[in-house]
């Protein structure tokens, strides 16, 4: 057994796994009958459909030759982890530390994900973006966003 198309092989596998998981989850809800469909009726059908389609993709990935093998290529681990972590950190920081702390940190950590990090530029863009966000969201749109760390305001 040789994988002919890497991308299709893994996406087929992904669809099967997610489909089976959703179908298994759907068994926890009442299935009902076609005349009185319950909450599990539609998701169960969909999940089975997706698993079957995933199987077709998997089968095709193993049988049909694709030029170049459709390689997935290298994963961009650094941007992936940095960007995701940045967003998650921001999610925690904003309600606790306020926008004026969370946003510059977001910009700094995000800038680290790129391969051309420069201190001076990042400081300037952090200042510009933070004041820009203040103008747009707080002054312009009057949204209620915590601005300063919670322990300072209280």
Among 69, 121, 150, 152, the residue binding another protein under the rule CB under 8 A is 121
120 neighbors 140 (Cβ within 8 angstroms): no
Are the C-beta atoms of 26 and 43 separated by less than 8 Å? yes
- Tokens read off for 13: 């596998």
Task: Decide: is 88 part of the binding site for another protein (CB under 8 A).
Answer: yes
Half-sphere exposure of 34 (CA within 13 A, CB side): 0
Answer yes or no whether residue 8 interacts with another protein by CB under 8 A: yes
Give the residue, chosen from 3, 50, 123, 147, that forms a contact with another protein under the rule CB under 8 A: 50
Q: Residue 47 or 101: which CB sits closer to another protein?
A: 47
What is the distance between the alpha carbons of residues 77 and 107, in angstroms, rounded to a whole number? 19
Give yes or no for a contact between 19 and 47, defined as CB atoms under 8 angstroms apart: yes
In this complex, which beta carbon is closest to another protein, that of residue 65 or of residue 116? 116
Query: In the bound complex, what is the minimum distance in angstroms from residue 7's beta carbon to another protein?
Result: 4
For residues 89 and 151, which CB has a smaller minimum distance to another protein in the complex? 89
User: Which residues have CB under 8 Å from 59's CB, separation 6+?
Assistant: 12
The token duo for 138 is 């707080």
State which of residues 17, 63, 69, 80 lies at the interface with another protein (CB under 8 A). 80
Report 123-152 residues binding another protein (CB under 8 A): 125-126, 129-130, 132-133, 136-137, 141-145
User: Counting contacts by CB under 8 A, is residue 114 touching another protein?
Assistant: yes
């Amino acid at each position: 057994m040789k994988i002919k198309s890497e991308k299709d092989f893994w996406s087929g596998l992904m669809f099967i796994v997610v489909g089976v998981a959703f179908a298994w989850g759907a068994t926890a809800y009442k299935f009902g009958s076609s005349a009185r469909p319950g909450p599990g009726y539609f998701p169960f059908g969909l999940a089975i459909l997706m698993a079957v389609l995933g199987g077709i993709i998997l089968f095709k990935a193993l049988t049909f030759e694709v030029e170049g093998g459709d390689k997935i290529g290298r994963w961009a681990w650094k941007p992936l982890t940095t960007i995701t972590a940045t967003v998650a950190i921001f999610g925690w920081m904003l309600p606790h530390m306020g926008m004026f702390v969370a946003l510059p940190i977001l910009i700094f950590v995000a800038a680290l994900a790129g391969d051309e990090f420069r201190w001076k530029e990042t400081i300037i863009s952090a200042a510009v973006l933070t004041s820009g966000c203040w103008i747009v969201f707080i002054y312009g749109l009057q949204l209620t966003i915590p601005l300063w760390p919670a322990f300072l305001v209280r």
